[in-house]
Amino acid sequence: MTRNGLRIELARVYGFCPGVRRAVEMIEEHLAREGRVATLGAIVHNARVVETLSRKGATVAKSLEEVQAPAVAITAHGAGREIYEEITRRGLDLVDTTCPIVKRAQEVARNLARQGYTVLIYGEETHPEVRGILSWTEGKGYATMSAADLPPFKGGKLGIVSQTTKDQKAFWGFVQEVIAGIHRGIKDLRVVDTTCPETGRRYRAALELAERVQAIFVVGSRNSANTRKLAETCEHTGVPTYFIEDASELRPEWVRGLSRVGVTAGASTPDELVEEVVARLRELGGEGG
Ligand code: SF4
């Protein structure tokens, strides 16, 4: 895309991942049919998406106690077993938007626990997805980001899985450290790679883009961890990187004198925000960029 000399390139992969797109579509379909739903936490870390859904009848509830609507939606991050039980107990309709990749991680963790494995989850224990996976281990799992912080392993069967958004290489590095640290006690080891390729695809596409442009605009909410990391990845390339929530934050001086800029977006950023940024960049290019 060019206008008056400013070429605007989009990353090969950017924006909504399939899991988030599916979750938003499921909520929209439910709203079109039934009119109201409460989501357990924001369906995605993006204010525009939350606002748009709220205009159509979605509210955000921090817990099941807060739910006023007849239906409740579990987000793409998934939820623990006790949440499903409580939803049934309260007689609420369920819109389960758990991403199939997260669902698989939950099922793997549950099956390992049922087969007598202690389940170690590589991930942040306070993250909603990890709390959900942990819950499915029924008390036989724990989560950590560091092999150095492992609780004493009493020996026996050990299963290792990952928070889906963790880097695959980092996961396998963690597995090696765990084995090196406690190998004598392990009688049976099962490692299941439950990482999702989507986050990595956005990072790799951003790095490719950085090789071709003079500045990169990363679009997304500042409260979105994956967008923040995407921006950090771009910054590390040395190419000037601007992390913006929407087109209104774009400053004309950022593109002045440039001929080629790139745009990417985190997995929680809707297409419309990216389109608005591209449209504004076109205008700025037309203003003598
Ligand atoms: S990043 Fe992957 S696991 Fe997470 S919601 Fe998207 S597709 Fe699903």
273 is written with which tokens? 């925000």
Least Cα distance to 18 among 10, 26, 6, 30 occurs for 26
- What is the reported pLDDT for 184? 66
Measured in whole angstroms, the distance separating CA 70 from the mean position of its chain's CA atoms is: 27
Q: For position 270, what pLDDT does the model report?
A: 95
Residue identifier of the C-alpha nearest atom 6 of ligand 1: 19
Q: How far is the CA of 115 from the centre of ligand 1 (A)?
A: 27
The closest of 252, 247, 241 to 279, measured between CA atoms, is 247
Contact 111, 157 (CB under 8 A): no
| Two structure tokens written together for 63 | 């817990």
Q: Counting Cβ atoms within 10 Å, is residue 188 exposed (0-12), middle (13-18) or buried (19+)?
A: exposed
Find all residues with CB under 8 Å of 115, minimum gap 6, and list them.
157
pLDDT mean over 72-85 = 96
The crossing angle, in degrees rounded to 10, of helices 47-55 and 18-34 is: 20
Residue 148 has pLDDT above 60, yes or no: yes
Predicted confidence (pLDDT) per residue in 93-116, tens digit: 999 999 999 999 999 999 999 999
Give 26-67 pLDDT, tens digit per residue. Answer: 999 999 999 999 999 999 889 999 999 999 999 999 999 999
185: CA distance to ligand 1 center in Å? 34
If residue 242 lies in a helix (H) or strand (E), which one and from where to where?
A: strand 241-244
pLDDT more than 70, % of the chain? 97
pLDDT score at 4: 56
First to last CA, the chain: 14
pTM of the model: 0.90
At residue 226, the pLDDT reads: 87
pLDDT band at 155 (very low <50, low <70, confident <90, very high): confident
Active site residues per annotation: 129
**Each residue's pLDDT tens digit, 202-231:** 999 999 999 999 999 999 999 888 899 999
Cα distance between residue 132 and residue 102, in whole Å: 9
pLDDT of 179 reads 87
Rounded to whole angstroms, how far apart are CA atoms 111 and 84? 18
Sketch out the chain's domains with CATH numbers. 2-15+197-286 (3.40.1010.20), 18-98 (3.40.50.11270), 101-191 (3.40.1010.20)
pLDDT of residue 278: 96
Choose one of 99, 104, 167 to mutate for the ligand 1 pocket test, by most ligand atoms within 8 angstroms of C-beta.
Answer: 99
Whether the pLDDT of residue 289 is over 80: the answer is no
Roughly what angle, to the nearest 10 degrees, separates helices 225-236 and 197-210?
30
Query: Which string of b and e fits 138-171 if b means at least 16 CB within 10 Å?
Result: eebbebbbebeeeeebeeeebbbbbbbbbbeeeb
Nearest-CA residue for atom 7 of ligand 1: 19
What is the whole-number distance in angstroms between the Cα of residue 77 and the centre of ligand 1?
8
Residue located via tokens 């765990």? 178
CA distance 145 to 41: 24
From the list 210, 254, 252, the residue with the least C-alpha distance to 230 is 210
Atom of ligand 1 nearest to the CA of 23: 5
pLDDT digits (tens, 9 = 90+) for 166-209: 999 999 999 999 988 776 678 889 999 999 999 889 999 999 99
Q: Is 270 helix (H, G, I), strand (E, B) or coil?
A: coil
Bridge partner list, 156? 186
Given this model, what pLDDT does residue 149 score?
Answer: 80
Instruction: List, chain by chain if needed, residues with CB within 6 Å of any ligand 1 atom.
Output: 17-20, 76, 99, 101-102, 164-165, 196, 198-199, 267
Residue ID of nearest Cα to ligand 1 atom 2: 196
